[in-house]
Chain A
Amino acid sequence: MTAVDGSSPVEIAPPVKPSPRALPRLARVGSMVLPPFAVFVAVIGVWYLVTYAFLAPRRRFLLPPPHQVVTDGFLDRTIRDEILSALGGTAKVALVGLGVAAALGVAFAILMNWARWVERSFYPWAVVLQTIPILAIVPLIGFWLGYGFWSRTVVCILIAIFPITTNTLFGLQSVDSSHHDLFTLRHARRWRRLVRLELPSALPAVFAGLRISAGLSVIGAIVGDFFFRQGDPGIGRLIDDYTHSLDSGPLFATVIIASLFGLVVFWFFGLLATLITGPWHETGQRPPP
């Protein structure tokens, strides 16, 4: 049960089913926690089944049993420290990358919203940037900027900036025309309009974009690390190393930790959106599962 309790942000989401108020609180929490827990148990079961029933003992390293992942990966002190320090480096790249991507993306969306010519000239290129296979230009970025923190962060930004930009722009452009009229009647200038009307209106869309970008920034940080094999190892390089040395217990532990990190970042922004826009925005009430 502890594994499921550990993922407590689930409890913050009100239940999606109708008539939730009618259920007692315990039953409500149970109805949210039990189904995913059942899936968790089933997956562990299938995992054991594949490991012991389908894999010959000498091929068992391909999928070590779950308890071995725990003992080799999480309980082995050296391995655990290695994973956590790699996670620290990757997290730093992901968070800085996300922060820069969010600041640039929102600023860019504001400019596009202010001046149609900015949107008309740059938006097509933003789409092109999105269609470039990012993996193809990652080595190029290393070639230009070196293999340190900043080139990894740049990879992260390139991967994460698109959703936050487009969502913010969409939010800014979806402001009610009658609300605009209200501001026009008082001769409100663009800055006041932005701060008092457009940005707050766009906030739910900004958060939706931020959440997608957050997931992508984690991927970006891992990809960058995977390619730029220098400096302190991050999650990407650790995964690569464990793969080459066939250390499947630590390998699986690293993958699980990286996934949990992505999940936590995703949940964090859902929670933030609920806290900030929840009191007035309907869909802000309910972060997606």
Chain B
Amino acid sequence: MRPAPTGTALSFHRIGKTFPDGTQALHDVSLTVGDGEFVAVVGPSGSGKSTLLRIASGLTEPSAGSVAVGSELPGYVFQDPTLLPWRTVEANVGLLAELDGVPKEERRRLVADAILLAGLTGFERHRPRALSGGMRMRVSLARALTVRPSLFLFDEPFGALDEITRERLGNELLRLYLREQFAGLFVTHSVVEAVRLARRVTVLSARPGRVLAEIEVPFDYPRGGGLQFDTAFGRVARSVSDALRESFT
């Protein structure tokens, strides 16, 4: 992994990944996320979306190609909230800062900010098992916010939530994005979610994942609540959906 050129938060160059057991997950994937840009990746399940994020974060080595990142340690929000069940909300949110060795006073401030931003006020002393799925995801988001990353990786963070919660958290994520101006790579299997959130949508094929299309989303931020019901939105979503359908033929 090497540093990305200025103006680029993350770039994949001709990435391929074949696992030791012979599974080919990605093939020749190139993709760039500019500073402060929000990009979504959609693809059928098994198309290597998670693998792509793992490669971006250094958790997995690519077997071909190279990846460059702007910030040394990206924020990473997993599909599961991955909270530590013995820690309270507050202590879970503070975990990453703790691992980074941030001094206690500063950590307390970071945690308080993140809890406020993620809408967790009043739940500081709760344990994960007392929270709903949506609240757990908020904790996971807040935890990632504490390290102030300039690049965020999201791996279907709202995939397990009901539609109402999902849309609400999506809107809040956009609010955070506008406020913090981080670059984001958001993996999802929902076309609507991808188009609602991102500036650009990359469509991956079924396994092994290849880039089928990159589709610009021409709506300015902040985006209104009912955007997905506009005709213009429908047109963009349709072109993403058409590209996805191609992946199965």
Instruction: Report whether chain A binds chain B.
Output: yes
In the assembled complex, the Cα of A187 lies from the Cα of B96 at a distance in Å of: 10
Q: A235 CB to closest chain B CB, in angstroms?
A: 38
Chain A CB within 8 A of B174 CB: no
Check B76 against A185 for contact (C-beta < 8 Å). Answer: yes
State which of B57, B59, B84, B99 has its C-beta within 8 Å of the C-beta of A179. B84
Check A186 against B100 for contact (C-beta < 8 Å). Answer: yes
Neighbouring B residues of A196 by C-beta, 8 Å: 84, 95, 98-99
Chain B CB within 8 A of A280 CB: yes
Q: B230 CB to closest chain A CB, in angstroms?
A: 37
Check A279 against B127 for contact (C-beta < 8 Å). Answer: yes
Neighbouring B residues of A178 by C-beta, 8 Å: 78, 80, 82
Neighbouring A residues of B57 by C-beta, 8 Å: 185
Check A186 against B85 for contact (C-beta < 8 Å). Answer: no
Within 8 A of B (CB), among A173-199: 176, 178-179, 181-188, 192, 196-197
Neighbouring B residues of A187 by C-beta, 8 Å: 73, 99
In the assembled complex, the Cα of A196 lies from the Cα of B101 at a distance in Å of: 13
Check B99 against A183 for contact (C-beta < 8 Å). Answer: yes
Chain A CB within 8 A of B248 CB: no
Check A200 against B86 for contact (C-beta < 8 Å). Answer: yes
A277 closest partner in B (C-beta): B86
Check A280 against B96 for contact (C-beta < 8 Å). Answer: no
Chain A CB within 8 A of B129 CB: yes
Within 8 A of A (CB), among B64-87: 73, 76, 78, 80, 82, 84-86
Within 8 A of B (CB), among A244-289: 277, 279-282
In the assembled complex, the Cα of A188 lies from the Cα of B57 at a distance in Å of: 15
Check B86 against A179 for contact (C-beta < 8 Å). Answer: no
In the assembled complex, the Cα of A280 lies from the Cα of B131 at a distance in Å of: 12
In the assembled complex, the Cα of A280 lies from the Cα of B73 at a distance in Å of: 30
Chain A, interface residues (CB within 8 Å), range: 20 to 34
Check B73 against A185 for contact (C-beta < 8 Å). Answer: yes
Q: B81 CB to closest chain A CB, in angstroms?
A: 10
In the assembled complex, the Cα of A223 lies from the Cα of B3 at a distance in Å of: 66
Within 8 A of A (CB), among B114-146: 127-129
Neighbouring B residues of A279 by C-beta, 8 Å: 86, 127
Q: A274 CB to closest chain B CB, in angstroms?
A: 14
Check B129 against A184 for contact (C-beta < 8 Å). Answer: no
State which of A182, A183, A192, A281 has its C-beta within 8 Å of the C-beta of B85. A281
Neighbouring A residues of B76 by C-beta, 8 Å: 181-182, 185
Check A186 against B82 for contact (C-beta < 8 Å). Answer: no
Q: B157 CB to closest chain A CB, in angstroms?
A: 13
Check A176 against B99 for contact (C-beta < 8 Å). Answer: no
Neighbouring A residues of B59 by C-beta, 8 Å: 181, 184-185
Within 8 A of B (CB), among A182-222: 182-188, 192, 196-197, 200, 203
State which of A192, A281, A282 has its C-beta within 8 Å of the C-beta of B99. A192
Q: If A185-B57, A185-B59 touch, does A197 touch B100 (CB 8 Å cutoff)? A: no
Could you list 9 examples of A-B contacts with CB < 8 Å?
A181-B82, A182-B76, A185-B59, A187-B99, A196-B95, A196-B99, A197-B84, A280-B127, A280-B129
Pairs A-B, 7 closest by C-beta atoms: A186-B99, A280-B85, A280-B86, A178-B82, A200-B86, A188-B99, A280-B127
> Chain A residues in contact with chain B, CB under 8 A?
176, 178-179, 181-188, 192, 196-197, 200, 203, 277, 279-282
